[in-house]
A and B are shown apart, each in its own frame.
Chain A
């Protein structure tokens, strides 16, 4: 490694950092998952030598069109509630199993599909009971074998040309129900992997381009929504076949070598371009930290720090000093999930403009301390590891923005996309007459991060893929067991700053029909937020679960009562125009029955703000108030902006005076560093919330007394 890493980085003894901590088992091998790009094969080299830069550009465009078309095919054919909104992806792997071309979507899905193809090549291809043939169809959803979590389900097919394996087609996304303890998947309260339902490392479910009926029956029997499951499985196979058809046609036109070589060259080129960009940026050590609060069955503080060593044309992401893995819920992540998740930030921001494929991660080394909440052992539940893995992504986003600003790439500088997880899983018979069991898609309308020169967009997209949508309301009403009363951009739900973070969509929905529905909660950020601000901007707020039982909403609807015309969910919760039992509670809840007329309030919070609130233009604050993005109270107390009684103009004099007063208060109440640290270091959270934290304040060190975290002496 570089001199900074060698002189300053500490990896605690007894922990594994560079791969998943769990050992090899039936159908999975962490060593394969940790492998980088496969060596260049002879046919790939011959093809690479044949391609000029122009040829490669044309081929790249062609292959991108293939996977984008496949993306549309899958989305159009699917009836899964999450896939319909775009929580999925498609891609083409090289013959060796490396993701070479990835559709716009959930990039990290495709970054995680390679392990299964590589496992099949290593262990099944020469197995006489299996082999590998044109027309084979494989299914997988096991996080042990490299998948995100069991709720994401994938199909892959080898692509042969004139008898030779030339590539793999992959397709998959958030399918949802696995027959686990929570209807709809995402069992936040699971304490063991055995409570999370169907788990398939990689299973050949078909040959000769056909799914085997007996296997399909078995899989459908394992889940609560067999119609959706079967339909989507067939949609994935159809999508892989479309990729195969297009790739074979391209090889008919160009010959196989340029296509195969081109795919490998795209990986090499992405790696080279990533290194070139890294080399431009200043070297140093950069840190960020996030805390999480909800472990599933219990609330408890956990720590997720991230240290980045940027040296020359390489980036090392070191995650150490992490809280231990938790046995009271499903918020444990895997090493491979953390690594792949980083691609979500790197592809869209840090390496923006570069081709998104596995090559971009080639100069990035990811070291995650395990066993820990981020690199968990085999037996704990890990279905909601995305929650904790995303904290590392948020840290890297903050760090990357600081490196990019200092390196002259201001246009890449933003606060992180809104992430605070809050899932409502609805299950029951929908208005189309079949069993529905899946997550709500409202989280796909989260807030975009504030940018260096403008506000973040509200209701922008999904954390894991900004192009994912929250769904069309009437379609959702017919597919889910609840009925949407309101969807509005939420008030006071983003981070304040010179430029504000994007605000989230908030939804008020009603249980519909005499049978009611089941609802399970999965989430965090009840006490803390994972949407940090940047350069003095405030974080986005927390977002606990809110349900309102025993309401009078049906009576109000029957007479078109104006009390239903509330502005925002915030307005509903503050002024309570609807009668009922308002329950503010933890985001992770057991499955409960809800009845006709009960209400659910969903909101995933907004992104953090950028810059000092006192630098926000008063006119922009006025617009925030007028558009219900903030209340007058926030305008006055936080921004120091007063608006005249008619609500149309700024009270210039009062605003100037208030802002002067806030600035004077800062200078009067702010303390010099040494004085502050002396008082601050004596404080400690209540012991009850540190149950799963590890040692305080550094989970791995018995007694840590530095003013800054992560400053460990070299042995």
Chain B
């Protein structure tokens, strides 16, 4: 039984695994973070948020000493499943940790 969890994630409740919703690539065990099954990339935020003006300290972008973007890609299709804005080196966020039995019970009858 596969159920939709987010824009880009599905849960296979039979195998208790995460899947990419776009290409069905497996992203690891459901009782772990799907981020462990992704490709991760650190980016300088100024690549995305282009600075305004020439002031190094204040320029409407993020200061890379303070914040980096960590992007999480599906290893099958390269879709950006999620990203995080974190100080360099800060631990990542285990954002979704289901009670799998409760999920199975509530999703019974709603699987696609």
Residue B5 interfacial (CB < 8 Å):
yes
Asked whether B89 lies within 8 Å of A406 as measured between CB atoms, the reply is: no
Residues from chain A with a CB closer than 8 A to the CB of B14 are none
Which of B5, B40, B55, B110 interacts with A670 by CB under 8 Å?
A: B40
Kindly state the separation between the CA atoms of A539 and B49 in the bound complex, as whole angstroms: 9
Chain A nearest CB from B1 CB (Å) reads: 14
Kindly state the separation between the CA atoms of A64 and B80 in the bound complex, as whole angstroms: 44
Beta-carbon contacts under 8 Å, A591-614 to B: 610-614
Residues from chain B with a CB closer than 8 A to the CB of A539 are 85
Beta-carbon contacts under 8 Å, B88-105 to A: 88-99, 102-103
Residue B18 interfacial (CB < 8 Å):
no
Asked whether B62 lies within 8 Å of A542 as measured between CB atoms, the reply is: yes
Asked whether A528 lies within 8 Å of B89 as measured between CB atoms, the reply is: no
Given A529-B85, A667-B75, A709-B93, verify A610-B7 contact (CB < 8 Å): yes
Asked whether B88 lies within 8 Å of A638 as measured between CB atoms, the reply is: no
Which of A405, A681, A708 interacts with B7 by CB under 8 Å?
A: A405
Given A408-B110, A671-B41, A689-B66, verify A291-B87 contact (CB < 8 Å): yes
Contact digits for B40-83, partner A, Cβ 8 Å, 1 yes 0 no: 11100001111011010111111101110111110101111111
Chain A nearest CB from B46 CB (Å) reads: 10
Which B-chain residue is minimally distant from A569 (CB atoms)?
B52
Residue B39 interfacial (CB < 8 Å):
yes
Residues from chain A with a CB closer than 8 A to the CB of B15 are none
Given A405-B5, A613-B80, verify A529-B62 contact (CB < 8 Å): yes
Residue B106 interfacial (CB < 8 Å):
yes
Kindly state the separation between the CA atoms of A402 and B5 in the bound complex, as whole angstroms: 8
Which of A286, A288, A536 interacts with B83 by CB under 8 Å?
A: A536
Which of B33, B47, B78, B94 interacts with A664 by CB under 8 Å?
A: B78
Residue A582 interfacial (CB < 8 Å):
yes
Residues from chain B with a CB closer than 8 A to the CB of A554 are none
Chain B nearest CB from A275 CB (Å) reads: 15
Kindly state the separation between the CA atoms of A647 and B85 in the bound complex, as whole angstroms: 33
Interface-central residue, A492, A527, A573, by most chain B CB under 10 Å: A527
Residue A284 interfacial (CB < 8 Å):
yes
Which of B47, B79, B96, B97 interacts with A614 by CB under 8 Å?
A: B79
Asked whether B61 lies within 8 Å of A402 as measured between CB atoms, the reply is: no
B interface, over-half SS: loop
Asked whether B106 lies within 8 Å of A282 as measured between CB atoms, the reply is: yes
Interface-located stretch among A378-386, A477-485, A672-680: A672-680
Which of A281, A671, A685 interacts with B89 by CB under 8 Å?
A: A685
Residues from chain B with a CB closer than 8 A to the CB of A193 are none
Chain B nearest CB from A182 CB (Å) reads: 21
Asked whether A633 lies within 8 Å of B50 as measured between CB atoms, the reply is: yes
Which B-chain residue is minimally distant from A293 (CB atoms)?
B66
Which of A492, A538, A685 interacts with B87 by CB under 8 Å?
A: A685
Beta-carbon contacts under 8 Å, B4-55 to A: 4-8, 33, 35-42, 47-50, 52-53, 55
Asked whether B94 lies within 8 Å of A711 as measured between CB atoms, the reply is: yes
Which B-chain residue is minimally distant from A670 (CB atoms)?
B39
Residue A515 interfacial (CB < 8 Å):
no
Kindly state the separation between the CA atoms of A543 and B72 in the bound complex, as whole angstroms: 26
Chain A nearest CB from B76 CB (Å) reads: 9
Asked whether A682 lies within 8 Å of B89 as measured between CB atoms, the reply is: yes
Asked whether A710 lies within 8 Å of B40 as measured between CB atoms, the reply is: no
Residues from chain B with a CB closer than 8 A to the CB of A638 are 48
Kindly state the separation between the CA atoms of A613 and B80 in the bound complex, as whole angstroms: 8
Chain A nearest CB from B110 CB (Å) reads: 7
Residue A421 interfacial (CB < 8 Å):
no
Chain B nearest CB from A648 CB (Å) reads: 24
Contact digits for A636-673, partner B, Cβ 8 Å, 1 yes 0 no: 01100000000000000000000000011011011111
Residues from chain A with a CB closer than 8 A to the CB of B61 are 541-542
Chain B nearest CB from A531 CB (Å) reads: 10
Given A286-B96, A544-B59, A585-B58, verify A680-B48 contact (CB < 8 Å): no
Residues from chain B with a CB closer than 8 A to the CB of A614 are 79-80
Residue A526 interfacial (CB < 8 Å):
yes
Kindly state the separation between the CA atoms of A493 and B79 in the bound complex, as whole angstroms: 24
Kindly state the separation between the CA atoms of A102 and B93 in the bound complex, as whole angstroms: 36
Which A-chain residue is minimally distant from B28 (CB atoms)?
A673
Residue A532 interfacial (CB < 8 Å):
yes
Kindly state the separation between the CA atoms of A664 and B39 in the bound complex, as whole angstroms: 12
Residue A287 interfacial (CB < 8 Å):
yes
Asked whether A707 lies within 8 Å of B102 as measured between CB atoms, the reply is: no
Residues from chain A with a CB closer than 8 A to the CB of B60 are 492-493, 541-544
Residue A417 interfacial (CB < 8 Å):
no
Kindly state the separation between the CA atoms of A682 and B92 in the bound complex, as whole angstroms: 13
Which B-chain residue is minimally distant from A8 (CB atoms)?
B97
Which B-chain residue is minimally distant from A705 (CB atoms)?
B91
Residue A452 interfacial (CB < 8 Å):
yes
Residues from chain B with a CB closer than 8 A to the CB of A532 are 85
Residue A201 interfacial (CB < 8 Å):
no
Kindly state the separation between the CA atoms of A280 and B106 in the bound complex, as whole angstroms: 7
Asked whether A538 lies within 8 Å of B83 as measured between CB atoms, the reply is: yes
Asked whether A683 lies within 8 Å of B75 as measured between CB atoms, the reply is: no
Kindly state the separation between the CA atoms of A704 and B90 in the bound complex, as whole angstroms: 10
Residue A508 interfacial (CB < 8 Å):
no
Kindly state the separation between the CA atoms of A573 and B65 in the bound complex, as whole angstroms: 24
Which of B4, B52, B80, B91 interacts with A697 by CB under 8 Å?
A: B91
Which A-chain residue is minimally distant from B3 (CB atoms)?
A406
Asked whether B53 lies within 8 Å of A573 as measured between CB atoms, the reply is: yes
Interface-central residue, A452, A669, A704, by most chain B CB under 10 Å: A669
Asked whether A286 lies within 8 Å of B81 as measured between CB atoms, the reply is: no
Chain A nearest CB from B77 CB (Å) reads: 8
Residues from chain A with a CB closer than 8 A to the CB of B48 are 496, 538, 638
Asked whether A528 lies within 8 Å of B73 as measured between CB atoms, the reply is: no
Asked whether A492 lies within 8 Å of B95 as measured between CB atoms, the reply is: no
Residue A289 interfacial (CB < 8 Å):
yes
Kindly state the separation between the CA atoms of A287 and B96 in the bound complex, as whole angstroms: 7
Kindly state the separation between the CA atoms of A570 and B53 in the bound complex, as whole angstroms: 9
Residues from chain B with a CB closer than 8 A to the CB of A685 are 65-66, 87-89
Chain A nearest CB from B95 CB (Å) reads: 5
Residue A409 interfacial (CB < 8 Å):
no
Which of A610, A637, A707 interacts with B47 by CB under 8 Å?
A: A637
Chain A nearest CB from B20 CB (Å) reads: 11
Asked whether A301 lies within 8 Å of B66 as measured between CB atoms, the reply is: yes
Which B-chain residue is minimally distant from A681 (CB atoms)?
B89
Residues from chain A with a CB closer than 8 A to the CB of B103 are 282-284, 406
Asked whether A282 lies within 8 Å of B55 as measured between CB atoms, the reply is: no
Residues from chain A with a CB closer than 8 A to the CB of B37 are 673
Asked whether A670 lies within 8 Å of B63 as measured between CB atoms, the reply is: no
Which B-chain residue is minimally distant from A282 (CB atoms)?
B103
Known: A280-B106, A697-B90, A709-B93. 8 other contacts (CB 8 A): A281-B106, A284-B98, A287-B95, A544-B58, A669-B41, A670-B40, A676-B42, A685-B66
Closest 10 CB pairs of A and B: A670-B39, A683-B89, A544-B58, A536-B80, A676-B40, A683-B88, A663-B78, A283-B99, A584-B55, A283-B102
Q: Taking beta carbons and an 8 Å cutoff, which residues of B are in contact with A?
A: 4-8, 33, 35-42, 47-50, 52-53, 55, 57-63, 65-67, 69-73, 75, 77-83, 85-99, 102-103, 106-107, 110
* Contact sample, A vs B, 21 pairs, CB 8 Å cutoff: A282-B103, A282-B106, A284-B99, A285-B97, A291-B87, A406-B4, A406-B6, A406-B98, A407-B106, A408-B110, A492-B49, A528-B67, A535-B8, A536-B72, A542-B49, A584-B55, A612-B8, A612-B80, A637-B47, A638-B48, A670-B78
